[in-house]
Structure 1
Amino acid sequence: MRWPPRSSNSERDGDEKRRPVSWEDKLNATDWSHYTDPRTLIPTLLLTTTILMSVRVYRSYLRRIPEATHIRPGFFRKRSLFGTVARVGDADNFHLFHQPGGRLAGWGWLPGRKIPEKRTDLKGKTIHVRLAGIDAPEGAHFGKPPQPYSAEALEWLKNYILNRRVRAYIYKRDQYERVVATVWVRRFLFRRDVGKEMLRAGLATVYEAKKGAEFGDFEENYRKAEAKAKRKKRGMWKGNPQDYESPRDYKIRTAATTETK
Protein backbone atom coordinates (compact mmCIF):
# COMPACT_ATOMS: atom_id res chain seq x y z
CA MET A 1 0.00 0.00 0.00
CA ARG A 2 1.40 3.31 -1.06
CA TRP A 3 0.75 6.42 1.00
CA PRO A 4 0.19 9.78 -0.69
CA PRO A 5 3.27 11.88 -0.71
CA ARG A 6 3.51 14.36 2.09
CA SER A 7 3.45 18.07 1.16
CA SER A 8 6.67 19.84 1.75
CA ASN A 9 7.04 22.87 4.03
CA SER A 10 7.54 25.13 1.00
CA GLU A 11 4.23 24.02 -0.47
CA ARG A 12 2.44 24.76 2.80
CA ASP A 13 4.00 28.24 2.93
CA GLY A 14 2.85 28.88 -0.63
CA ASP A 15 -0.71 27.91 0.25
CA GLU A 16 -0.68 30.29 3.20
CA LYS A 17 0.57 33.12 1.00
CA ARG A 18 -2.16 32.49 -1.56
CA ARG A 19 -4.88 32.47 1.12
CA PRO A 20 -6.74 35.84 0.98
CA VAL A 21 -6.21 38.16 3.93
CA SER A 22 -9.19 40.22 5.06
CA TRP A 23 -9.09 43.99 5.67
CA GLU A 24 -9.77 43.40 9.35
CA ASP A 25 -6.79 41.07 9.59
CA LYS A 26 -4.54 43.71 8.08
CA LEU A 27 -5.95 46.39 10.40
CA ASN A 28 -5.42 44.23 13.44
CA ALA A 29 -1.93 43.41 12.31
CA THR A 30 -0.93 47.09 12.01
CA ASP A 31 1.23 48.42 14.78
CA TRP A 32 -0.68 51.54 15.87
CA SER A 33 1.62 52.40 18.73
CA HIS A 34 3.77 54.46 16.36
CA TYR A 35 0.83 56.70 15.40
CA THR A 36 -0.42 57.20 18.95
CA ASP A 37 3.01 57.99 20.31
CA PRO A 38 2.85 61.58 21.70
CA ARG A 39 6.15 62.35 19.96
CA THR A 40 4.38 61.78 16.64
CA LEU A 41 0.82 62.80 17.49
CA ILE A 42 1.48 66.21 19.07
CA PRO A 43 3.65 67.64 16.23
CA THR A 44 1.12 66.38 13.67
CA LEU A 45 -1.76 68.08 15.47
CA LEU A 46 0.21 71.31 15.86
CA LEU A 47 1.15 71.34 12.17
CA THR A 48 -2.42 70.66 11.05
CA THR A 49 -3.83 73.35 13.35
CA THR A 50 -1.24 75.87 12.16
CA ILE A 51 -2.06 75.21 8.51
CA LEU A 52 -5.81 75.53 9.08
CA MET A 53 -5.42 78.73 11.11
CA SER A 54 -3.07 80.21 8.50
CA VAL A 55 -5.61 79.55 5.74
CA ARG A 56 -8.37 81.13 7.81
CA VAL A 57 -6.29 84.22 8.66
CA TYR A 58 -5.32 84.64 5.01
CA ARG A 59 -8.90 84.34 3.74
CA SER A 60 -10.24 86.73 6.39
CA TYR A 61 -7.49 89.33 6.72
CA LEU A 62 -4.78 89.02 4.05
CA ARG A 63 -6.65 88.01 0.89
CA ARG A 64 -6.98 90.99 -1.46
CA ILE A 65 -10.55 91.78 -2.49
CA PRO A 66 -10.59 93.09 -6.08
CA GLU A 67 -14.18 94.34 -6.33
CA ALA A 68 -17.27 94.91 -4.19
CA THR A 69 -18.99 91.80 -5.59
CA HIS A 70 -16.23 89.63 -4.06
CA ILE A 71 -17.01 90.72 -0.49
CA ARG A 72 -18.65 87.95 1.47
CA PRO A 73 -21.96 88.83 3.21
CA GLY A 74 -20.50 87.90 6.60
CA PHE A 75 -18.00 90.77 6.33
CA PHE A 76 -20.60 93.53 6.41
CA ARG A 77 -20.95 95.34 9.77
CA LYS A 78 -18.12 93.20 11.16
CA ARG A 79 -15.07 94.06 9.09
CA SER A 80 -13.22 97.04 7.69
CA LEU A 81 -11.23 97.44 4.49
CA PHE A 82 -7.84 99.15 4.35
CA GLY A 83 -6.37 100.51 1.16
CA THR A 84 -5.45 103.47 -1.02
CA VAL A 85 -7.92 105.72 -2.84
CA ALA A 86 -7.09 105.15 -6.50
CA ARG A 87 -9.81 107.32 -8.06
CA VAL A 88 -12.58 109.70 -6.96
CA GLY A 89 -15.79 109.42 -8.95
CA ASP A 90 -18.51 111.75 -7.75
CA ALA A 91 -18.28 113.92 -4.68
CA ASP A 92 -19.53 111.20 -2.34
CA ASN A 93 -17.90 108.04 -3.71
CA PHE A 94 -14.51 106.75 -4.77
CA HIS A 95 -12.56 103.65 -5.80
CA LEU A 96 -10.44 101.85 -3.21
CA PHE A 97 -7.49 99.61 -4.04
CA HIS A 98 -7.64 97.06 -1.22
CA GLN A 99 -4.31 96.52 0.57
CA PRO A 100 -4.92 94.02 3.38
CA GLY A 101 -2.29 94.18 6.08
CA GLY A 102 -0.94 97.50 4.82
CA ARG A 103 2.83 98.07 4.82
CA LEU A 104 3.36 95.19 7.25
CA ALA A 105 2.13 92.87 4.50
CA GLY A 106 4.53 94.41 2.00
CA TRP A 107 2.20 96.86 0.24
CA GLY A 108 4.16 99.70 -1.29
CA TRP A 109 7.63 98.19 -1.00
CA LEU A 110 7.61 94.49 -1.89
CA PRO A 111 7.72 93.45 -5.58
CA GLY A 112 4.23 92.79 -6.91
CA ARG A 113 2.60 94.71 -4.05
CA LYS A 114 2.11 98.10 -5.64
CA ILE A 115 -0.89 99.91 -7.10
CA PRO A 116 -0.98 99.87 -10.91
CA GLU A 117 -0.17 103.32 -12.23
CA LYS A 118 -2.33 103.24 -15.36
CA ARG A 119 -6.08 103.67 -15.00
CA THR A 120 -6.69 100.90 -17.52
CA ASP A 121 -4.70 98.49 -15.34
CA LEU A 122 -7.00 99.27 -12.40
CA LYS A 123 -10.14 98.07 -14.19
CA GLY A 124 -11.73 95.27 -12.19
CA LYS A 125 -9.24 95.72 -9.35
CA THR A 126 -10.85 98.39 -7.14
CA ILE A 127 -13.78 98.48 -4.73
CA HIS A 128 -16.37 101.19 -5.41
CA VAL A 129 -17.14 102.86 -2.05
CA ARG A 130 -20.09 105.15 -1.26
CA LEU A 131 -19.67 107.42 1.77
CA ALA A 132 -22.33 106.50 4.33
CA GLY A 133 -24.73 109.03 5.81
CA ILE A 134 -24.08 111.95 3.44
CA ASP A 135 -25.30 113.23 0.09
CA ALA A 136 -23.11 115.56 -1.96
CA PRO A 137 -24.30 117.94 -4.73
CA GLU A 138 -24.87 116.09 -7.98
CA GLY A 139 -22.58 116.61 -10.95
CA ALA A 140 -23.66 116.56 -14.58
CA HIS A 141 -24.91 113.09 -15.51
CA PHE A 142 -26.96 111.72 -18.38
CA GLY A 143 -27.56 115.15 -19.85
CA LYS A 144 -28.62 116.70 -16.54
CA PRO A 145 -27.05 120.03 -15.52
CA PRO A 146 -24.69 120.02 -12.52
CA GLN A 147 -26.00 121.11 -9.16
CA PRO A 148 -24.44 124.21 -7.56
CA TYR A 149 -21.28 123.40 -5.57
CA SER A 150 -20.93 119.98 -7.17
CA ALA A 151 -17.54 120.91 -8.67
CA GLU A 152 -16.34 122.34 -5.34
CA ALA A 153 -17.45 119.22 -3.48
CA LEU A 154 -15.68 116.94 -5.97
CA GLU A 155 -12.48 118.96 -5.76
CA TRP A 156 -12.62 118.94 -1.95
CA LEU A 157 -12.94 115.15 -1.84
CA LYS A 158 -10.08 114.67 -4.29
CA ASN A 159 -7.79 116.90 -2.27
CA TYR A 160 -8.81 115.19 0.96
CA ILE A 161 -8.44 111.49 0.11
CA LEU A 162 -7.06 110.85 -3.40
CA ASN A 163 -3.90 108.68 -3.24
CA ARG A 164 -4.22 108.47 0.54
CA ARG A 165 -4.60 105.36 2.66
CA VAL A 166 -8.04 105.05 4.26
CA ARG A 167 -10.00 102.57 6.34
CA ALA A 168 -13.60 101.86 5.38
CA TYR A 169 -16.02 100.31 7.88
CA ILE A 170 -18.47 98.57 5.57
CA TYR A 171 -22.24 98.22 6.09
CA LYS A 172 -23.78 96.85 2.92
CA ARG A 173 -23.67 96.73 -0.89
CA ASP A 174 -26.13 99.07 -2.62
CA GLN A 175 -28.08 98.70 -5.87
CA TYR A 176 -25.15 100.12 -7.86
CA GLU A 177 -22.71 97.48 -6.54
CA ARG A 178 -21.01 100.03 -4.30
CA VAL A 179 -19.98 99.35 -0.73
CA VAL A 180 -21.61 101.80 1.69
CA ALA A 181 -19.08 102.64 4.40
CA THR A 182 -17.92 105.12 7.01
CA VAL A 183 -14.43 106.10 5.87
CA TRP A 184 -11.54 107.34 8.00
CA VAL A 185 -8.31 108.98 6.89
CA ARG A 186 -5.31 110.28 8.84
CA ARG A 187 -4.77 114.01 8.49
CA PHE A 188 -1.98 115.67 10.46
CA LEU A 189 -1.67 112.64 12.77
CA PHE A 190 -5.41 112.72 13.58
CA ARG A 191 -7.97 110.24 12.29
CA ARG A 192 -10.82 112.02 10.50
CA ASP A 193 -14.27 110.83 9.43
CA VAL A 194 -14.42 111.87 5.76
CA GLY A 195 -18.21 112.15 5.68
CA LYS A 196 -18.36 114.30 8.80
CA GLU A 197 -15.59 116.60 7.53
CA MET A 198 -17.47 117.08 4.28
CA LEU A 199 -20.59 118.06 6.21
CA ARG A 200 -18.56 120.52 8.28
CA ALA A 201 -17.26 122.11 5.08
CA GLY A 202 -20.83 122.66 3.88
CA LEU A 203 -20.29 120.50 0.80
CA ALA A 204 -22.71 117.71 1.64
CA THR A 205 -25.99 117.15 3.46
CA VAL A 206 -27.13 114.40 5.77
CA TYR A 207 -28.54 111.53 3.69
CA GLU A 208 -32.33 111.83 3.78
CA ALA A 209 -33.61 108.85 1.80
CA LYS A 210 -36.73 107.31 3.33
CA LYS A 211 -35.15 103.87 3.36
CA GLY A 212 -31.72 102.36 3.07
CA ALA A 213 -29.88 105.17 4.88
CA GLU A 214 -26.73 104.05 6.69
CA PHE A 215 -25.02 106.03 9.43
CA GLY A 216 -23.32 103.46 11.63
CA ASP A 217 -23.30 105.12 15.06
CA PHE A 218 -22.72 108.61 13.72
CA GLU A 219 -26.09 110.05 12.70
CA GLU A 220 -26.29 112.46 15.64
CA ASN A 221 -22.75 113.72 15.00
CA TYR A 222 -23.52 114.17 11.32
CA ARG A 223 -26.63 116.24 11.99
CA LYS A 224 -24.71 118.45 14.39
CA ALA A 225 -21.98 118.99 11.78
CA GLU A 226 -24.57 119.93 9.15
CA ALA A 227 -26.34 122.33 11.52
CA LYS A 228 -23.05 124.06 12.35
CA ALA A 229 -22.21 124.47 8.64
CA LYS A 230 -25.62 126.05 8.10
CA ARG A 231 -25.08 128.53 10.94
CA LYS A 232 -21.62 129.41 9.65
CA LYS A 233 -22.97 129.65 6.05
CA ARG A 234 -20.26 127.41 4.69
CA GLY A 235 -20.22 125.93 1.20
CA MET A 236 -23.67 125.38 -0.24
CA TRP A 237 -25.26 127.26 2.69
CA LYS A 238 -23.80 130.64 1.63
CA GLY A 239 -26.65 131.69 -0.62
CA ASN A 240 -30.27 132.59 -0.01
CA PRO A 241 -32.00 129.72 1.84
CA GLN A 242 -34.99 130.08 -0.49
CA ASP A 243 -32.77 129.17 -3.46
CA TYR A 244 -31.34 126.09 -1.77
CA GLU A 245 -32.13 122.66 -3.20
CA SER A 246 -30.86 119.53 -1.46
CA PRO A 247 -29.18 116.78 -3.49
CA ARG A 248 -32.16 114.54 -2.76
CA ASP A 249 -34.68 117.12 -4.01
CA TYR A 250 -32.52 117.74 -7.07
CA LYS A 251 -32.49 114.05 -7.96
CA ILE A 252 -36.26 113.79 -7.51
CA ARG A 253 -36.88 116.88 -9.67
CA THR A 254 -34.51 115.91 -12.47
CA ALA A 255 -35.81 112.35 -12.48
CA ALA A 256 -39.37 113.66 -12.94
CA THR A 257 -38.21 116.00 -15.70
CA THR A 258 -36.51 113.15 -17.54
CA GLU A 259 -39.61 110.96 -17.34
CA THR A 260 -41.85 113.68 -18.83
CA LYS A 261 -39.58 114.25 -21.85
Structure 2
Amino acid sequence: MNGTVTGVPDGDGFLFLHTPGPGWQWPLKFRWMPKLKPSGAGEVIRMRMAAIDAPEMGKGGEEGQPFSIESRDWLRSQILGKTIHCQLLKREGQYGRMIVLPFLPPRFLPWWLTGNRGTNLPEESIRRGWAFVYESESGVFPHPQKREGYLALMREAQKAKVGMWKNGTSLETPGQYKKRTKQAVTPEISDDVVEASEEEKSWIQLKLKNIFGRR
Protein backbone atom coordinates (compact mmCIF):
# COMPACT_ATOMS: atom_id res chain seq x y z
CA MET A 1 0.00 0.00 0.00
CA ASN A 2 1.17 3.51 -0.80
CA GLY A 3 -0.09 6.49 1.12
CA THR A 4 0.59 9.60 3.13
CA VAL A 5 1.39 9.69 6.85
CA THR A 6 -1.01 12.09 8.57
CA GLY A 7 0.00 11.60 12.20
CA VAL A 8 2.64 9.98 14.42
CA PRO A 9 1.41 9.40 18.00
CA ASP A 10 4.40 7.38 19.20
CA GLY A 11 7.67 5.80 18.13
CA ASP A 12 6.25 2.66 16.53
CA GLY A 13 2.90 3.71 15.11
CA PHE A 14 1.40 6.18 12.68
CA LEU A 15 -1.80 7.22 10.93
CA PHE A 16 -1.90 6.48 7.23
CA LEU A 17 -4.12 7.73 4.41
CA HIS A 18 -4.15 5.20 1.59
CA THR A 19 -3.70 6.84 -1.83
CA PRO A 20 -3.97 4.05 -4.41
CA GLY A 21 -3.33 4.50 -8.10
CA PRO A 22 -1.44 7.15 -10.08
CA GLY A 23 -1.76 10.91 -9.87
CA TRP A 24 -0.68 11.64 -6.29
CA GLN A 25 2.92 12.62 -7.00
CA TRP A 26 4.64 15.14 -9.23
CA PRO A 27 5.14 15.41 -12.20
CA LEU A 28 1.88 13.54 -12.91
CA LYS A 29 -0.08 14.94 -9.99
CA PHE A 30 -3.79 15.41 -10.58
CA ARG A 31 -5.15 14.22 -7.21
CA TRP A 32 -5.10 16.12 -3.93
CA MET A 33 -5.31 15.11 -0.29
CA PRO A 34 -8.81 15.50 1.19
CA LYS A 35 -9.32 17.88 4.07
CA LEU A 36 -8.99 15.69 7.14
CA LYS A 37 -10.76 16.17 10.45
CA PRO A 38 -8.39 17.08 13.29
CA SER A 39 -8.50 13.51 14.61
CA GLY A 40 -8.47 11.91 11.18
CA ALA A 41 -11.27 9.62 12.36
CA GLY A 42 -12.96 7.66 9.62
CA GLU A 43 -10.38 8.53 6.99
CA VAL A 44 -7.08 7.02 8.10
CA ILE A 45 -5.72 3.61 9.04
CA ARG A 46 -3.85 3.00 12.27
CA MET A 47 -0.54 1.35 11.46
CA ARG A 48 1.93 -0.35 13.79
CA MET A 49 5.46 -1.08 12.66
CA ALA A 50 6.42 -4.74 12.75
CA ALA A 51 9.36 -6.15 14.73
CA ILE A 52 9.89 -3.18 17.05
CA ASP A 53 8.58 -1.73 20.31
CA ALA A 54 9.31 1.92 21.04
CA PRO A 55 9.35 3.40 24.56
CA GLU A 56 5.80 3.87 25.80
CA MET A 57 4.21 7.31 25.89
CA GLY A 58 2.45 8.31 29.12
CA LYS A 59 -1.23 7.37 29.41
CA GLY A 60 -3.93 8.03 31.99
CA GLY A 61 -1.77 10.34 34.06
CA GLU A 62 1.08 7.82 34.14
CA GLU A 63 4.49 9.21 33.22
CA GLY A 64 5.85 7.77 30.00
CA GLN A 65 9.09 5.92 29.57
CA PRO A 66 12.39 7.79 29.17
CA PHE A 67 13.07 8.62 25.51
CA SER A 68 9.45 8.01 24.45
CA ILE A 69 9.10 11.58 23.21
CA GLU A 70 12.47 11.53 21.47
CA SER A 71 11.55 8.26 19.75
CA ARG A 72 8.24 9.69 18.56
CA ASP A 73 9.85 12.94 17.39
CA TRP A 74 12.49 11.06 15.41
CA LEU A 75 9.83 9.03 13.60
CA ARG A 76 7.82 12.19 12.95
CA SER A 77 10.85 13.84 11.39
CA GLN A 78 11.20 10.91 9.01
CA ILE A 79 7.67 10.30 7.77
CA LEU A 80 5.08 12.89 8.79
CA GLY A 81 3.43 14.31 5.69
CA LYS A 82 5.42 12.01 3.41
CA THR A 83 4.35 9.29 1.02
CA ILE A 84 5.57 5.87 2.11
CA HIS A 85 5.13 2.25 1.06
CA CYS A 86 3.71 -0.27 3.54
CA GLN A 87 3.94 -4.02 3.19
CA LEU A 88 0.98 -5.48 5.08
CA LEU A 89 1.91 -8.35 7.38
CA LYS A 90 -0.98 -8.79 9.82
CA ARG A 91 -4.19 -7.25 11.01
CA GLU A 92 -4.91 -6.90 14.72
CA GLY A 93 -8.55 -7.91 14.85
CA GLN A 94 -9.16 -6.73 18.41
CA TYR A 95 -7.53 -3.32 17.99
CA GLY A 96 -8.18 -2.62 14.32
CA ARG A 97 -4.58 -1.78 13.50
CA MET A 98 -2.48 -3.05 10.65
CA ILE A 99 0.99 -4.43 11.36
CA VAL A 100 3.21 -3.31 8.51
CA LEU A 101 6.74 -3.16 7.23
CA PRO A 102 7.00 0.48 6.10
CA PHE A 103 9.56 1.89 3.69
CA LEU A 104 10.50 5.51 3.07
CA PRO A 105 10.99 5.55 -0.73
CA PRO A 106 14.23 6.72 -2.35
CA ARG A 107 14.36 10.47 -2.80
CA PHE A 108 14.95 10.52 -6.54
CA LEU A 109 14.19 7.38 -8.56
CA PRO A 110 10.97 5.39 -8.06
CA TRP A 111 11.36 1.88 -6.65
CA TRP A 112 9.96 0.20 -9.76
CA LEU A 113 12.94 1.50 -11.73
CA THR A 114 15.61 0.43 -9.26
CA GLY A 115 14.00 -2.43 -7.34
CA ASN A 116 14.91 -0.57 -4.13
CA ARG A 117 11.95 0.00 -1.82
CA GLY A 118 13.93 2.56 0.17
CA THR A 119 14.65 2.89 3.88
CA ASN A 120 13.33 0.06 6.03
CA LEU A 121 11.90 2.13 8.90
CA PRO A 122 11.85 -0.53 11.66
CA GLU A 123 15.50 -1.34 10.93
CA GLU A 124 16.43 2.33 10.84
CA SER A 125 14.64 2.99 14.12
CA ILE A 126 16.63 0.21 15.81
CA ARG A 127 19.85 1.37 14.17
CA ARG A 128 19.33 4.92 15.47
CA GLY A 129 18.62 3.62 18.96
CA TRP A 130 14.96 4.64 19.19
CA ALA A 131 13.30 1.23 19.47
CA PHE A 132 13.64 -2.18 21.08
CA VAL A 133 13.23 -5.38 19.13
CA TYR A 134 9.77 -6.73 19.95
CA GLU A 135 10.18 -8.97 22.99
CA SER A 136 7.70 -11.76 22.47
CA GLU A 137 8.55 -14.74 20.29
CA SER A 138 5.07 -14.32 18.79
CA GLY A 139 5.93 -10.87 17.46
CA VAL A 140 5.45 -10.16 13.77
CA PHE A 141 8.62 -10.05 11.70
CA PRO A 142 8.99 -9.94 7.89
CA HIS A 143 10.41 -13.47 8.22
CA PRO A 144 11.07 -15.54 11.39
CA GLN A 145 14.79 -15.61 10.61
CA LYS A 146 14.86 -11.80 10.51
CA ARG A 147 14.50 -11.59 14.30
CA GLU A 148 18.16 -12.40 14.88
CA GLY A 149 19.16 -9.72 12.39
CA TYR A 150 17.09 -7.14 14.23
CA LEU A 151 18.62 -8.18 17.56
CA ALA A 152 22.10 -7.81 16.04
CA LEU A 153 21.19 -4.28 14.94
CA MET A 154 20.06 -3.45 18.46
CA ARG A 155 23.29 -4.75 19.95
CA GLU A 156 25.24 -2.56 17.52
CA ALA A 157 23.18 0.49 18.55
CA GLN A 158 23.82 -0.31 22.23
CA LYS A 159 27.54 -0.65 21.61
CA ALA A 160 27.60 2.67 19.73
CA LYS A 161 25.56 4.34 22.53
CA VAL A 162 23.16 6.01 20.13
CA GLY A 163 19.66 7.24 20.86
CA MET A 164 18.22 5.89 24.07
CA TRP A 165 21.34 3.81 24.71
CA LYS A 166 23.56 6.82 25.31
CA ASN A 167 23.63 6.26 29.09
CA GLY A 168 23.91 2.48 29.01
CA THR A 169 21.79 -0.57 28.26
CA SER A 170 19.94 -1.10 31.55
CA LEU A 171 16.62 0.24 30.30
CA GLU A 172 13.15 -0.93 31.14
CA THR A 173 11.49 -2.49 28.10
CA PRO A 174 7.98 -1.45 27.04
CA GLY A 175 6.68 -4.84 28.17
CA GLN A 176 8.20 -4.42 31.63
CA TYR A 177 6.82 -0.87 31.83
CA LYS A 178 3.29 -2.08 31.07
CA LYS A 179 3.48 -4.77 33.73
CA ARG A 180 4.85 -2.30 36.28
CA THR A 181 2.13 0.25 35.58
CA LYS A 182 -0.49 -2.49 35.27
CA GLN A 183 -1.46 -1.48 31.77
CA ALA A 184 -3.00 -3.98 29.42
CA VAL A 185 -0.30 -5.50 27.27
CA THR A 186 -1.46 -5.01 23.71
CA PRO A 187 -0.89 -8.20 21.71
CA GLU A 188 0.95 -7.60 18.47
CA ILE A 189 -1.01 -10.25 16.62
CA SER A 190 -4.53 -11.57 16.83
CA ASP A 191 -6.49 -14.10 14.83
CA ASP A 192 -9.82 -12.54 15.81
CA VAL A 193 -12.20 -12.06 12.91
CA VAL A 194 -14.14 -8.83 13.27
CA GLU A 195 -16.56 -6.91 11.13
CA ALA A 196 -15.49 -3.60 9.67
CA SER A 197 -16.01 -0.75 12.10
CA GLU A 198 -17.63 2.51 11.09
CA GLU A 199 -14.12 3.99 10.86
CA GLU A 200 -13.02 1.26 8.44
CA LYS A 201 -16.21 1.58 6.40
CA SER A 202 -15.59 5.31 6.06
CA TRP A 203 -12.01 4.60 4.98
CA ILE A 204 -13.25 2.17 2.31
CA GLN A 205 -15.60 4.86 1.00
CA LEU A 206 -12.72 7.34 0.88
CA LYS A 207 -10.53 4.80 -0.90
CA LEU A 208 -13.17 4.36 -3.61
CA LYS A 209 -13.30 8.14 -4.03
CA ASN A 210 -9.52 8.24 -4.37
CA ILE A 211 -9.49 5.49 -7.00
CA PHE A 212 -11.86 7.51 -9.17
CA GLY A 213 -9.84 10.69 -8.73
CA ARG A 214 -12.42 12.73 -6.87
CA ARG A 215 -10.92 15.80 -5.16
TM range, normalised to the smaller chain?
A: 0.7 to 0.9
Alpha-carbon distance in 2 for matches of 1:151, 1:130? 17
TM-score (norm 2): 0.72
Show the counterpart of 1:219.
147
Alpha-carbon distance in 1 for matches of 2:163, 2:133? 14
Helix, strand or coil at the partner of 2:153: helix
Structure 1 contact 82–102 (Cα < 8 Å) conserved: no
Show the counterpart of 2:12.
92
Show the counterpart of 1:15.
none
Show the counterpart of 1:198.
125
TM-score (norm 1): 0.60
Deviations 1:3-54 (A, max 9, x none): xxxxxxxxxxxxxxxxxxxxxxxxxxxxxxxxxxxxxxxxxxxxxxxxxxxx
Quick one: structure 1 residues 240 and 227, their matched pair in 2 at CA, closer, same or farther if it must change by over 3 Å? closer
Deviations 1:83-130 (A, max 9, x none): 1111112211001110112437999832xx322344348321111100
Alignment pair present for 1:135 and 2:53: yes
* Pairs aligned (count): 173
Amino acid at match of 1:84: T
- CA-atom RMSD in angstroms: 2.5
Alignment pair present for 1:239 and 2:167: yes
Helix, strand or coil at the partner of 1:122: coil
Amino acid at match of 1:205: F
Alignment pair present for 1:169 and 2:87: yes
Alpha-carbon distance in 2 for matches of 1:200, 1:210? 21
Amino acid at match of 2:136: A
Structure 1 contact 107–114 (Cα < 8 Å) conserved: no
Quick one: structure 1 residues 240 and 229, their matched pair in 2 at CA, closer, same or farther if it must change by over 3 Å? closer
Q: Residue 134 of structure 2: which of 197, 207, 217 is its match? A: 207
Structure 2 contact 24–32 (Cα < 8 Å) conserved: no
Alpha-carbon distance in 2 for matches of 1:108, 1:126? 24
Unpaired segments ≥5 residues, structure 1: 1-80
Identity %: 33
Structure 1 contact 202–226 (Cα < 8 Å) conserved: yes
Amino acid at match of 1:216: P
Which structure features the higher share of helix residues? 1
